[in-house]
């Protein structure tokens, strides 16, 4: 099966129950009334929202979400126990998540998650069939020191070292999100994002073979908005977007989805 393009909205710690349902009703009504998007959603594009987990459960219960999937922003790798504040993979699945962000830079840098932690989360998600979205990317300082490439290599390789997990995985999804571009309004250039995504595909090919590399869905994230989304989506190795701030507003997020749908309708 041909892989679908993927537009994800990472809400971070924004929107409680009321605001989430308001967003869902506005966004779903707009999608449902736009036949050009509906057509593309059947075969070529997936839209997924990553709300706070309490809102996710409620959103999932609503009848107006036929064209959307949902994911969690974080999970713990153990199934249950004394881990205050954490949610397990089985809890995320029960709440209605299909995807989990793993290793988002805010988890790595604000909550001290290292490569080993990210790898354990990836392994558990994969084993339990919650599709992980691995997030990688260099900081500003690493970039200035010319270390961007080696940081991306280390982060991707560490996760892919897992022996058999990927074989059971329907496909890998990896988001390249340079840390300096997240929430700053300073996005990478489309060329830089393409270069990094191409590097990631090469690493996947080297470690897991050409077929897996080809199937891998690569996202760019970091200050994506309606004005720059198309530049990224037009790149050969960019299969979708991980959108933070601009996904909080239904109109802006819809604008990005519309751009993706019109591009895909020409392919
Ligand atoms: P941003 O966030 O679009 O607000 O930069 C992206 C992300 O953190 O995934």
> Residue 170: pLDDT band by 50, 70, 90 thresholds?
low
**What digits encode the pLDDT tens for the residues 229-241?**
999 999 999 999 9
* Least confident stretch, 139-143, 166-170, 174-178, 181-185: 166-170
Contact 230, 251 (CB under 8 A): no
203 contact partners, CB below 8 Å, separation of at least 6: 152, 153, 156, 157, 160
Contact 242, 8 (CB under 8 A): yes
Q: Is 266 a catalytic residue?
A: no
Name the residue at shortest CA distance from atom 2 of ligand 1: 244
Q: Is 165 a catalytic residue?
A: no
Pocket test for ligand 1, best of 181, 182, 193 (most atoms within 8 A of CB): 182
**What digits encode the pLDDT tens for the residues 26-79?**
999 999 998 889 989 988 999 999 999 999 999 999 988 888 999 999 999 999
Q: Is 242 a pocket residue for ligand 1 (Cβ < 6 Å)?
A: yes
In angstroms, the Cα distances linking 155 to 103, 149, 180, 242 are 9, 10, 16, 18
* Least confident stretch, 33-47, 129-143, 214-228: 33-47
Mean pLDDT, the chain, as a whole number? 93
Pocket test for ligand 1, best of 106, 226, 245 (most atoms within 8 A of CB): 245
Report whether pLDDT(1) > 80: no
Q: Is 177 a pocket residue for ligand 1 (Cβ < 6 Å)?
A: yes
17 CB-contact burial (10 Å; exposed 0-12 / middle 13-18 / buried 19+)? middle
Distance 181 CA to ligand 1 centre (A): 8
Residue 168: HSE in the Cβ half-sphere, 13 Å Cα cutoff = 15
* Least confident stretch, 40-49, 66-75, 159-168, 201-210: 159-168
Given the residues 113, 142, 165, 177, select the one marked as catalytic. Answer: 177
């Amino acid at each position: 099966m041909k892989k679908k393009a993927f537009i994800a909205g990472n809400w971070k710690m924004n929107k409680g129950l009321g605001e989430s349902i308001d967003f869902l009703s506005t966004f779903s009504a707009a999608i449902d009334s736009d036949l050009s998007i509906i057509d593309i959603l059947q075969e070529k594009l997936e839209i997924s929202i990553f709300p706070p987990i309490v809102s996710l459960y409620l959103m999932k219960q609503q009848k107006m979400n036929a064209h959307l999937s949902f994911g969690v922003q974080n999970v713990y790798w153990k199934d249950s126990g004394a881990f205050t504040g954490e949610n397990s993979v089985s809890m995320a699945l029960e709440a209605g998540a299909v995807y989990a962000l793993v290793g988002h830079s805010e988890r790595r840098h604000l909550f001290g998650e290292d490569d080993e932690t990210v790898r354990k989360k990836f392994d558990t998600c994969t084993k339990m069939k919650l599709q992980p979205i691995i997030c990688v990317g260099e900081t500003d300082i690493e970039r200035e020191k010319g270390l961007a490439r080696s940081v991306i290599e280390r982060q991707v390789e560490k996760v892919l070292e897992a022996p058999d997990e990927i074989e059971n995985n329907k496909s890998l999804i990896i988001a390249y999100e340079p840390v300096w571009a997240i929430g700053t309004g300073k996005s990478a250039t489309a060329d830089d994002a393409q270069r990094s995504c191409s590097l990631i595909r090469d690493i996947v090919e080297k470690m897991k073979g050409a077929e897996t590399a080809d199937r891998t869905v690569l996202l760019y994230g970091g200050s994506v908005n309606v004005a720059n989304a198309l530049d990224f989506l037009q790149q050969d190795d960019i299969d979708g977007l991980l959108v933070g701030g601009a996904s909080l507003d239904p109109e802006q997020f819809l604008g990005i989805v519309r751009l993706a749908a019109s591009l895909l309708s020409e392919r």
